[in-house]
Structure 1
Amino acid sequence: MVGIITYGAYIPRFRIKTEEIARVWGANGKEIAAGLGVMEKSVPDLDEDTITISVSAARNALLKRDVNPDDIGAVYVGSESHPYAVKPTAVTVGEAIGATPVMTAADYEFACKAGTAGIQTCMGLVKSGMIKCGLAIGTDIAQGAPGDALEYTAAAGGAAFFIGNDDVIAEINHTCSFTTDTPDFWRREGQAYPRHGGRFSGEPAYFKHIQGAAKMMLEHMGTKPSDYDYAVFHQPNAKFPRSVAAMLGFTSEQIKPGLAVPTLGNTYSGAVPVGLSATLDVAKPGDKIFVTSYGSGAGSDAFDITVTDAIETEIDRKASPSVADMLNDKVYLDYAQYAKHKGKIVMQK
């Protein structure tokens, strides 16, 4: 039995309403905001980045359940906003939680599915017996050029999962992936903001890959959507996950607990990890969770998860803030303050 032994999320307190972004960019901006289904998004504080968010999420996981640092044999941080081009985020996170020096560490980058790729790697290492426990994190401070559609959703946040086989709170029964070379979204070295293929990002990118991985999982497991209590799909906006859920046969009630994007925005590599965290916040023993991530470029990872009795006995879900708690703890910024927080304007010294 390999799965999640504890988990934690972190979302910055600051927010900006999409109507405030639209106010700056005029009528076209209002039309863009209306079509995304995102009312507001999180904004990092001036001193927050992918490293600090990753550390906070990992520490929130450790508040729920104590993990011996000596047992943490791997740390993987998935993000497309690592602070350094050459200097791993993962080693700083490992040091901050006391896991160094006896661990393997790496930064992953596969657009928005880098966090779930880290979970798969930890699963393999635990199953092989090479490590006792691994830490997989999906975190981003997402980028969006001023006035671009991405600016209305690009948010900040992430979640951390300790993967092991000792009294797991959620068993990962199976995982599979669906991957092709589909250039729907990209950012070249040195560029501040990514570019995207507009409508091309929906089909054949997002919908093809999520459906490909999801249908493969259902076939491998011999299950159907109604066999699951909850489902989490990558959420770049509020429209896409609702649409793909309906296409696959999942209901709005199944995806509701993990659908954080309307009041969070798109946290890129953190999107599915945060959605899974929100679902685990309310899950009960025996619940089954269906998860499918998506990363531009492009690929999807799917997971079949069963919540165990240990979620009631081995962790204290009240020991650190729930996703709902963090979403409700907010301070609003105007566009000028937001631009300063995001580094879009810099004070001259």
Structure 2
Amino acid sequence: MVGIYSYGVYIPRFRIKIPEIARVWGANADDITKGLGVFEKSVPDMDEDTATIAVEASRAAMRRRKIDPAKIGAIYVGSESHPYAVKPTACTVGEAIGATPYMTAADYEFACKAGTAAIQTCMGLVKSGMVTFGMAVGADVAQGAPGDALEYTAAAGGAAFVLGENDPIAVINHTCSFTTDTPDFWRREGQNFPRHGGRFTGDPGYFKHVQGAARLMLEQMGKEPSDYDYAVFHQPNAKFPQRVAKMLGFTGEQIKPGLVVPRLGNTYSGASMVGLAATLDIAEPGDRIFVTSFGSGAGSDAFDIEVTDAIASDSFDRDCAPSVEKLLANPTYVDYALYAKHKGKIVMQR
């Protein structure tokens, strides 16, 4: 069975508190934090972008388990903030981990679910026998225009998953998708910041698609929410995943380990994948994990994942790379001026 062979995460150490953003724009911080359920978000360092985040997450995955880089035959990086419009991030990742030149590589875009689409592609390549291992990355330095609602949550971070067949730490029993042409969020070529359809973002955007993919998965697997130990849903804020979990019949305890957005913000393509990684950080053999991503435009990918004995074996060492909790701990806080400088919203004129 194809499954997760290893995984890694990278989150920048810098943070900005949501009240600091609200202070600059004269907004009510209490209303914003209460409405979003987000209290702070990650900020990239001056020399960090999607490529560096993807590389660090991939290196973390390689440290946790002995993998011959030459056997990674596919690398796909999902993001909506690739540093180049024409120049793949995936090639940079491959070079950094020593997987080049005998590999297939490409960059994916599907708003916040490009990373899970990359997982599905790697699953197919591994299962077909075309590659031994595939690496799927979801990473973003998320954009939000100054003063826009997105600015309160758009964060930086990412996760990398190595997919393989031989003794995975977690088997992916099944995956399915739900996709429509729903333009709830977009960014045209040449624009620095995305725009959103306001009231359409929740429904028919997020809730229709997450429920569509999740209910299809439960139906195809013949399972109930109570059959799973954990659940992870795309987390653009803390309210949406909690609400959709309740609508589907999952409990707060099931989603709690993977709900990292209150301290991290929305890492776009990395959001559901970082949530899955946080869950794997504490998972034990036999645990069942339900995952549903979401990407505006719009679509959702659902996964039924079962943790194996390999996660507790000598061949896999979670401690060789920092956990999500460790990456979230001991942040360095910045004010809005430094945040704007880090994000390139203000630049020095030469």
The TM-score normalised by the length of structure 1 is: 0.99
* AA of the residue aligned to 2:194: P
Q: What is the RMSD of the two structures over their aligned residues, measured on CA atoms?
A: 0.8
Equivalent position of 2:347 in the other structure: 346
Whether 1:315 and 2:316 are equivalent positions in the alignment is yes
Equivalent position of 1:100 in the other structure: 100
After TM superposition, which residue ranges in structure 1, 4 or more long, deviate above 6 angstroms? none
1:31 CA displacement: 3.3
**Could you tell me how far apart the structure 2 residues matched to 1:118 and 1:187 are?**
21
Equivalent position of 1:337 in the other structure: 338
Identity value in percent: 76
**Could you tell me how far apart the structure 1 residues matched to 2:126 and 2:234 are?**
26
Equivalent position of 2:226 in the other structure: 226
**Could you tell me how far apart the structure 2 residues matched to 1:27 and 1:326 are?**
29
Count of aligned pairs between the two proteins: 349
**Could you tell me how far apart the structure 1 residues matched to 2:30 and 2:153 are?**
13
Equivalent position of 2:120 in the other structure: 120
* AA of the residue aligned to 2:54: S
* AA of the residue aligned to 1:282: I
Whether 1:272 and 2:267 are equivalent positions in the alignment is no
Equivalent position of 1:196 in the other structure: 196
**Could you tell me how far apart the structure 2 residues matched to 1:98 and 1:140 are?**
22
Equivalent position of 1:241 in the other structure: 241
**Could you tell me how far apart the structure 1 residues matched to 2:34 and 2:85 are?**
35
Equivalent position of 2:6 in the other structure: 6
CA contact (8 A) 1:210 1:293 kept: yes
**Could you tell me how far apart the structure 2 residues matched to 1:199 and 1:29 are?**
21
1:348 CA displacement: 1.4
Partner of 1:99: helix, strand, or coil? coil
Whether 1:23 and 2:23 are equivalent positions in the alignment is yes
* AA of the residue aligned to 1:243: R
Residue correspondence of structure 1 range 196-215 to structure 2 within 5 A? 196-215=196-215
Partner of 1:161: helix, strand, or coil? strand
Deviations 1:78-121 (Å, cap 9, x if unpaired)? 00000000000000100000000000000000000000000000
**Could you tell me how far apart the structure 1 residues matched to 2:70 and 2:25 are?**
51
Whether 1:327 and 2:328 are equivalent positions in the alignment is yes
Residue correspondence of structure 1 range 245-324 to structure 2 within 5 A? 245-313=245-313, 314-324=315-325
Partner of 1:282: helix, strand, or coil? coil
**Could you tell me how far apart the structure 2 residues matched to 1:321 and 1:232 are?**
20
**Could you tell me how far apart the structure 2 residues matched to 1:111 and 1:96 are?**
25
Equivalent position of 1:129 in the other structure: 129
CA contact (8 A) 1:237 1:266 kept: yes
Whether 1:82 and 2:76 are equivalent positions in the alignment is no
CA contact (8 A) 1:10 1:158 kept: yes
1:33 CA displacement: 3.8
**Could you tell me how far apart the structure 1 residues matched to 2:167 and 2:245 are?**
31
**Could you tell me how far apart the structure 2 residues matched to 1:33 and 1:341 are?**
23
**Could you tell me how far apart the structure 1 residues matched to 2:186 and 2:145 are?**
13
Q: 1:49 to 1:142 in 2, by over 3 A?
A: same
19-28 or 52-61, larger mean C-alpha shift? 19-28
Structure 1, unaligned runs of 5 or more: none
1:329 CA displacement: 2.8
**Could you tell me how far apart the structure 2 residues matched to 1:10 and 1:194 are?**
24
1:224 CA displacement: 0.3
**Could you tell me how far apart the structure 2 residues matched to 1:93 and 1:50 are?**
10
Partner of 1:174: helix, strand, or coil? strand
1:166 CA displacement: 1.1
Deviations 1:226-248 (Å, cap 9, x if unpaired)? 00000000000000000000000
* AA of the residue aligned to 1:301: D
**Could you tell me how far apart the structure 1 residues matched to 2:306 and 2:27 are?**
46
Equivalent position of 1:67 in the other structure: 67
* AA of the residue aligned to 2:98: G
Equivalent position of 1:162 in the other structure: 162
Deviations 1:300-347 (Å, cap 9, x if unpaired)? 000000000000112101111000000013100000000000000001
**Could you tell me how far apart the structure 2 residues matched to 1:331 and 1:27 are?**
24
Partner of 1:219: helix, strand, or coil? helix
**Could you tell me how far apart the structure 1 residues matched to 2:345 and 2:254 are?**
38
**Could you tell me how far apart the structure 2 residues matched to 1:337 and 1:309 are?**
45
Partner of 2:317: helix, strand, or coil? coil
Whether 1:173 and 2:173 are equivalent positions in the alignment is yes
* AA of the residue aligned to 2:295: G
* AA of the residue aligned to 1:192: N
